[in-house]
Structure 1
């Protein structure tokens, strides 16, 4: 069976500062909430030896699909912060509230709770913070709750001094449990095994991927892999398949691993750009989202590799509308199965482009003719899905399906890019090619 794979931009937002991390809230009923963090290097003004400062901003957005001719993303809040290197939501409620963690350039791990505001909306409120060390940048964080388990809420954080820290969250307070020197240079990434949260992984600029067992202490790693030839900057444990781990590197490779045998990866996929972030789909175990720095954003289908048949994971969709370093990316848990309501453009009042709540005009040409080239009409009105003309690209490999028992798939995603300071919200649809099916039957 052939499949049609289609990506469509829904909205673009200018974050003003360099955008490098984005994540949808994973806990119900807040799946419509999106957070985005920025990192801006401010050089000392006129003083030769002045140390540069790093500033940031934390954005909070609400995604709603009710309006037919309005952009779906609404900014709820923005707050100035230290530069943000990474942000992630805890996968479970903590004391009844969603909690967002950020890794800051001040060397702090900062936590915020999502609270209802008096206006009926919601906002982030400071919960707790803890410095993992002086004169260092906190580079990444991960929660132990990836399988939606709330029995033991902990955070792992890596930093620019090459250290990894494990912290606990209890009664709204962060407490340091352990810290150790894990890498010779920057420890770009750290992550829990979601299946055994006593196991921690880390990757560094020393090109090493390491495993650690917190039960025996960090004096010696459980393994050290040098399979990546450059700095390891992304690690994500698969929340659906035990032992499965995805890693990405400046060497432009995505490696899939079985944690029981770290001598040889299950597969190796060349991405054509340094792999800064990897995210497994929240519901479909074979789908992996990759932010590939100099080569856009891609969705990999990993079924063949996870079944032990080897080979590179095929790319089933790409999003190429960013014009700068592809850094942050995430899947939403919101369902897009029902089409957005569509009204005739003539029946709607004219909306000025200046009142479009952060929506920017898109005029991009796709070299593969696989993507929309505009999301506004000639007078600047937002074109909802169902009105805009879209083109599709059939997936060549008939053996691929979105998942073992899923006939089609519609996903909402967000991505952000650095120097052009842009946040994009987009959708991916993967459906059977009915025309191809009919031709096969004839």
Structure 2
């Protein structure tokens, strides 16, 4: 087996001011360079002791450009104050020839925004419609039925803090509830369509149960109930590449892969070292799974062996560890990154508090990573004593490299890979844009 080199590199950091919990790249081909980020801030009541706390949020719209090594790639196009945002998802298809964004709000509303082009040629989000899911509840997650880019029947499913699931259709820009039912005893953290049969919906709740539902049948009876997770189920994503394959994550710090035809036993069980808040399959590489692991950073799993031979675990081929708070939001971009990254490497084995590798004397220009207001530990981890960023040709030593397992090869049609990823963390209110390079390790 050939040796492969996996490396994550930070491109930019943005301070969202409020606690960041969800990021999404636009999947529509005309706007792959568009990124949104949602925030959630709990404002404690003032005055009377029993005053109800308020929840506020902010929605950010960015555009990603690669104009030069000294230019920040991320440009803020718009931000708007909203109710606290629990989840964001783009519809995978255009609606009336425009991208549409769904927002799960703490006010119990499912809100839709359309992405429009301004007279200046920029982009801007504009409110399209809103649906009240229920009073005195938070909408916690949403998913579109369009994950395979071929659905003519556009629907959205959402889950809420009352344990209920709602399915709505989208016609002429308006949402109409098709069905709503009580699915879980406590918070229904997550709901997701099967992208291969959009009559099937998967849900997970704080009652530690993973359930399946057939929208053609009575919602009083799930098609299955799994108690394989030992804590609340908070992430589910159906594979857009392989029929029946579903990934689930939980507060129990495990990622499980399932074949939907047999929900008694998962195909694999991978311990992540942190509660798995979000899971995202790569948009084109069927074996790659991105996980946001709350107290244990962001990781990329390679699932080929698990899907083909039911191996016990999926190996981690890359990690991004520069966040200093709860790892909540993460998403793959569909943009193609063919040119070398204008930024410094930070291998997954290097923690921000570890000593820096000394730079040899150099007269070259050291490219700086663009950032807004990162924490001190992030700043010093990427600079030498002279304030210069470590160039790509220098790598900090890795501890005991012989002990590291050999990562599997990428898919046969991808001899090397460069992926653009966005992630966000909660209490330090940070949005990071970074890239992951997976290339043959050729001896220098």
- 2:216 aligns with 215
- 1:8 aligns with 9
- Out of 348, 351, 372, the position equivalent to 1:359 is 372
Secondary structure of 2:46 counterpart: coil
- 1:369 aligns with none
Counterpart mapping for 1:256-405 below 5 A: 256-339=257-340, 359-360=372-373, 364=377, 373-374=381-382, 389-390=394-395, 396-398=404-406, 400-405=408-413
Could you say if the C-alpha distance between residues 420 and 362 of structure 1 is closer, same or farther in structure 2, counting changes exceeding 3 Å?
closer
Shift of 1:311: 1.4
Counterpart mapping for 1:99-178 below 5 A: 99-178=100-179
CA distance in structure 2 between the aligned counterparts of 1:75 and 1:157, rounded to whole angstroms: 28
Q: Bigger CA drift: 326-335 or 65-74?
A: 65-74
Could you say if the C-alpha distance between residues 432 and 347 of structure 1 is closer, same or farther in structure 2, counting changes exceeding 3 Å?
closer
Secondary structure of 1:305 counterpart: helix
Q: Provide the aligned C-alpha RMSD in A.
A: 2.6
Query: Alpha-carbon deviations, 1:377-416, whole Å to 9, x = none?
Result: 9578xx6x97684558779554711213211111000000
Contact 1:208 1:224 (C-alpha < 8 Å) held by counterparts = yes
CA distance in structure 2 between the aligned counterparts of 1:338 and 1:277, rounded to whole angstroms: 29
Shift of 1:161: 0.3
CA distance in structure 2 between the aligned counterparts of 1:389 and 1:23, rounded to whole angstroms: 32
- 1:75 aligns with 76
Shift of 1:2: 1.4
Structure 2 residues without counterparts, runs of 5 or longer: 344-361
CA distance in structure 1 between the aligned counterparts of 2:55 and 2:195, rounded to whole angstroms: 32
CA distance in structure 2 between the aligned counterparts of 1:237 and 1:41, rounded to whole angstroms: 31
- Out of 414, 426, 429, the position equivalent to 1:421 is 429
CA distance in structure 2 between the aligned counterparts of 1:190 and 1:392, rounded to whole angstroms: 43
CA distance in structure 2 between the aligned counterparts of 1:213 and 1:301, rounded to whole angstroms: 30
CA distance in structure 1 between the aligned counterparts of 2:374 and 2:295, rounded to whole angstroms: 23
Query: Alpha-carbon deviations, 1:125-173, whole Å to 9, x = none?
Result: 0001001110000000000000012311100000000000000011000
Could you say if the C-alpha distance between residues 434 and 178 of structure 1 is closer, same or farther in structure 2, counting changes exceeding 3 Å?
same
Shift of 1:118: 2.1
Could you say if the C-alpha distance between residues 246 and 386 of structure 1 is closer, same or farther in structure 2, counting changes exceeding 3 Å?
same
CA distance in structure 2 between the aligned counterparts of 1:379 and 1:253, rounded to whole angstroms: 39
Structure 1 residues without counterparts, runs of 5 or longer: 367-371
Shift of 1:346: 8.2
Contact 1:37 1:59 (C-alpha < 8 Å) held by counterparts = yes
Could you say if the C-alpha distance between residues 76 and 346 of structure 1 is closer, same or farther in structure 2, counting changes exceeding 3 Å?
farther
Secondary structure of 2:306 counterpart: helix
CA distance in structure 2 between the aligned counterparts of 1:315 and 1:190, rounded to whole angstroms: 25
Query: Alpha-carbon deviations, 1:1-39, whole Å to 9, x = none?
Result: 111110001111000000000010011111110000000
Shift of 1:114: 0.5
CA distance in structure 2 between the aligned counterparts of 1:298 and 1:11, rounded to whole angstroms: 18
CA distance in structure 1 between the aligned counterparts of 2:67 and 2:323, rounded to whole angstroms: 26
CA distance in structure 2 between the aligned counterparts of 1:212 and 1:92, rounded to whole angstroms: 24
CA distance in structure 2 between the aligned counterparts of 1:60 and 1:147, rounded to whole angstroms: 24
Could you say if the C-alpha distance between residues 202 and 345 of structure 1 is closer, same or farther in structure 2, counting changes exceeding 3 Å?
farther
Query: Alpha-carbon deviations, 1:211-243, whole Å to 9, x = none?
Result: 000111312000000000000000000000110
- Out of 424, 432, 439, the position equivalent to 1:431 is 439
Length, aligned pairs only: 422
Query: Alpha-carbon deviations, 1:169-207, whole Å to 9, x = none?
Result: 110001100000000000000000000000000000000
Shift of 1:418: 0.3
Could you say if the C-alpha distance between residues 399 and 292 of structure 1 is closer, same or farther in structure 2, counting changes exceeding 3 Å?
closer
Shift of 1:68: 2.2
Contact 1:332 1:413 (C-alpha < 8 Å) held by counterparts = yes
